[in-house]
């Protein structure tokens, strides 16, 4: 199995090779025109100096002009052709990545992180760029370079070899050095670059308090020092890339010199015609255009490979060509009617086999509500994700299926109705209105300019925090699932709206016969829940959180002093 990430990712690009061949052919023709122009002009001038009848020159004159015109024409077509190949590849890659990640239970948890999402877009572009900036220029350089060597070699084989050697310098050594330099700058500069960014952000975000505390000058000095480290890393790389640039600039003249040294004796000995000597000497001046893009191509190739590696990490571990594996137990899906409700037996939940919360037993029946309480970091969200089947339990058993309702659930850039239809494709307008009414959004709906047809999300109507939470609950109610796992429904809401929302959820569970597990760091509204599990740490550093107390809200108020105190503090008037 090939381990180059670019090669492994290649099937997902669905490259159509005839299109690639077409782009390479056009690129080669471009360079044929460039080299042909130089060779024909050299022949023309040398022949003209022998003062032949003008007619003898007419073919060469037409050739020179044709090459001069053709070059721009072919170049234009080549750029279009290679960009077309790249864009097709990017579109296919994006769609394939989406499908694999969606079906394959790939690293969706990683996708929850915003920065990663933004990076996927950039990485896809980088992998696509490899076509335009590396593969096609590389192939063109090989074909056109060897063609030029053959042209010169036909007249004087040794000169051909000199040209080949110089082309290897600029086409292989120089790109290799450039790539090595850029790799070292990126590797050594990455830490410095990260520090520069972090320090810049800190200065900008905390600048005012740093002024007051008198630490501003100190932090400015820190930024300057980090920038100096970055400059040093760049400088080291520039030492190598400087050599690469020097080779590139000197090799052309070197090739001309070599051809002169070999050509002059041959011409004087009569082995090489005067016109041929001019072609042999002057053609190399144009040939090196073939390799000018290669250092950048090598750098791009390395960058694209790194991007491909990151994209592969998103895919299921079996690799992109293997069939997608099923998730631990099918998440979502239409609920299994036999197992209404949900039970967790001795479940430990966490990431990469490290439990965040352990030894949780929990049963929730239709129409009842279990609340998870506890400080942030106690593993409430992790436990809910595990209960929803979106993350495999580290230990224990999950029976039943639930719908995870994330605190940051996504509103798509489409209409309100389509956003609700994410829950189920066949929702009617009446059902949508009913669900919105159940969460108290009737008035809000009436105030929308186009009712259910109003666009939401990016570029659409702004939705306030409270409305958004209610909307997410309404969408969950429309799904076929009988068990809802609701994460912090009241986060970032003021106390009154937060409590109202949790109480509404409890009421909905009782009215519609759904089983609900709700995680909340506010305790006051949990009075309506049937059972409260208080998660927390027992003080052992590094140990996973556990259920430190359980019972009804009233029980906990009565039995757990900390709980009573915390509820009392929440109740203090604002």
Site for other proteins in 325-344 (CB under 8 A): 330-334
Site string for other proteins, 387-416 (x = CB under 8 A): -x-x------------xxxx--xx-xx---
DSSP states of 533-554 as a string?
A: EEEE--S-TTPPBEEEEEE-HH
Residues numbered 344 to 383 that lie near other proteins (CB under 8 A) are: 375-377
Q: CB of residue 461 vs other proteins: minimum separation in angstroms?
A: 15
Q: Look at phi and psi of residue 357 and say left if phi exceeds 0, alpha if psi is from -120 to 50, else beta.
A: beta
In this structure, are residues 304 and 129 in contact, taking their beta carbons and an 8 Å threshold?
yes
Q: Does 211 bind other proteins (CB under 8 A)?
A: yes
Read off φ and ψ for residue 219, nearest 5 degrees.
-70, -35
Distance of CA 417 to the CA centre of its chain: 30
Residues in contact with other proteins, shown as a per-residue x/- string from 282 to 301 under the rule CB under 8 A: x--xx---------------
Binding to other proteins by CB under 8 A, coded x per residue (else -) over 221-260, reads -xxx--xx-xx--xx-xxx-xxxxxxxxxx-xxx-xx--x
Helices 294-314, 114-130: axis angle to 10 degrees equals 140
How far apart CA 142 and CA 148 sit, in angstroms, is 10
Measure the CA angle with vertex 461, ends 457 and 465; round to 5°: 75
Burial of 306 (0-12, 13-18, 19+ CB in 10 A): middle
- Exactly one of 213, 339, 442, 461 binds other proteins (CB under 8 A); that residue is 213
Q: Residues touching other proteins: how many (CB under 8 A)?
A: 155
CB of 446 to other proteins, least distance (A): 26
The alpha carbon dihedral of 106, 112, 115, 117 has a sign of positive
Considering only residues 149-188, where is the footprint of other proteins by CB under 8 A? none
Minimum CB separation of residue 362 from other proteins in Å reads: 19
Backbone CA torsion sign across 61, 64, 68, 69: positive
Interface mask toward other proteins for 79-98; x: CB under 8 A? xx--xx--xx-xxx-xx--x
Q: Does 273 bind other proteins (CB under 8 A)?
A: yes
Q: Which is nearer to other proteins, 141 or 230 (CB)?
A: 230
| Contacts (Cβ under 8 Å, ≥6 apart) of 178 | 241, 244, 295, 296, 298, 299
Identify the H or E element spanning 38: helix 17-48
Of residues 475 through 534, those in contact with other proteins by CB under 8 A are: 479, 521
> Which of residues 11, 68, 328, 396 is near other proteins by CB under 8 A?
68
Q: How far is the CB of 75 from other proteins (least distance, A)?
A: 6
Name which of 18 and 214 has its Cβ closer to other proteins. Answer: 214
Nearest approach in angstroms of CB 254 to other proteins is 5
Neighbours of 449 (CB within 10 A): 8
What's the rounded Cα separation, in Å, for the pair 17 and 36? Answer: 28
In whole angstroms, the minimum distance from the beta carbon of 2 to other proteins comes to 26
Residue from 15, 25, 45, 359 binding other proteins (CB under 8 A): 45
Cβ 230 to other proteins shortest distance, Å: 6
């Amino acid at each position: 199995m090939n381990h180059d990430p670019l090669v492994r990712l290649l099937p997902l690009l669905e490259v159509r090779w005839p299109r690639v061949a077409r782009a390479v052919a056009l690129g080669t023709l471009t360079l044929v025109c460039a080299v042909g122009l130089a060779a024909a002009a050299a022949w023309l001038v040398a022949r003209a100096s022998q003062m032949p009848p003008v007619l003898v020159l007419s073919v060469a004159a037409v050739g020179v002009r044709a090459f001069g015109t053709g070059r721009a024409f072919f170049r234009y077509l080549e750029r279009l052709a290679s960009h077309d190949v790249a864009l097709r590849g990017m579109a296919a890659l994006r769609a394939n990545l989406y499908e694999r990640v969606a079906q394959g239970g790939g690293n969706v948890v990683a996708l929850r992180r915003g920065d990663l999402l933004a990076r996927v877009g950039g990485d896809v572009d980088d992998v696509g760029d490899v076509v335009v900036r590396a593969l096609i220029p590389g192939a063109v350089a090989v074909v056109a370079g060897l063609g030029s060597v053959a042209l010169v070699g036909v007249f004087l084989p040794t000169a051909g070899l000199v040209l080949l050697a110089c082309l290897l310098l600029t086409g292989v050594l120089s790109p290799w050095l450039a790539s090595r330099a850029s790799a070292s700058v990126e590797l050594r500069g990455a830490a410095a670059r990260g520090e520069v960014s972090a320090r810049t952000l800190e200065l900008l975000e905390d600048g005012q308090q740093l002024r007051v505390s008198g630490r501003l000058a100190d932090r400015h000095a820190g930024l300057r020092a980090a920038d100096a480290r970055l400059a040093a890393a760049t400088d080291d790389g520039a030492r190598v890339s400087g050599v690469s640039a020097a080779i590139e600039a000197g090799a052309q003249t070197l090739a001309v010199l070599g051809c002169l040294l070999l050509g002059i004796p041959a011409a004087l000995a009569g082995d090489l015609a005067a016109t041929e000597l001019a072609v042999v000497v002057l053609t190399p001046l144009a040939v090196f255009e073939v390799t000018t893009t290669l250092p950048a191509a090598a750098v791009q190739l390395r960058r694209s490979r790194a991007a491909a590696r990151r994209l592969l990490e998103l895919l299921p571990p079996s690799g992109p060509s293997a069939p997608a594996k099923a998730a631990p137990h099918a998440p979502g899906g239409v609920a299994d009617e036999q197992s209404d409700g949900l039970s967790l037996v001795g479940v430990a939940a966490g990431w990469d086999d490290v439990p965040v919360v352990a030894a949780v037993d929990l049963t929730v029946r239709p129409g009842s509500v279990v609340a998870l309480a506890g400080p942030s970091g106690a593993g409430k969200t992790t436990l809910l994700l595990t209960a929803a089947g979106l993350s495999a339990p580290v230990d224990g058993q999950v029976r039943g299926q639930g719908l995870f309702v994330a605190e940051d659930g996504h509103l798509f850039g489409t209409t309100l109705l389509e956003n609700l239809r994410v829950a189920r494709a066949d929702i009617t307008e009446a059902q949508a209105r009913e669900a919105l009414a159940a969460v108290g959004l009737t008035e809000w709906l009436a105030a929308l300019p186009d009712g259910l047809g109003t666009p939401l999300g990016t570029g659409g109507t702004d939705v306030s925090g409270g409305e958004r939470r209610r909307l997410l609950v309404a969408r969950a109610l429309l799904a076929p699932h009988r068990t809802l796992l609701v994460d912090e429904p009241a986060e970032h809401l003021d106390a009154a709206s937060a409590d109202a929302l949790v109480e509404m959820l409890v009421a909905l569970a009782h009215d519609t016969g759904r089983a609900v597990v709700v995680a909340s760091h506010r305790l006051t509204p949990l009075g309506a829940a049937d059972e409260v599990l208080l998660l927390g740490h027992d003080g052992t550093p590094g140990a996973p959180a556990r259920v430190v107390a359980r019972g009804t809200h009233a029980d906990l108020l009565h039995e757990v002093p900390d709980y009573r105190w915390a509820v009392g503090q929440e109740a203090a008037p604002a």
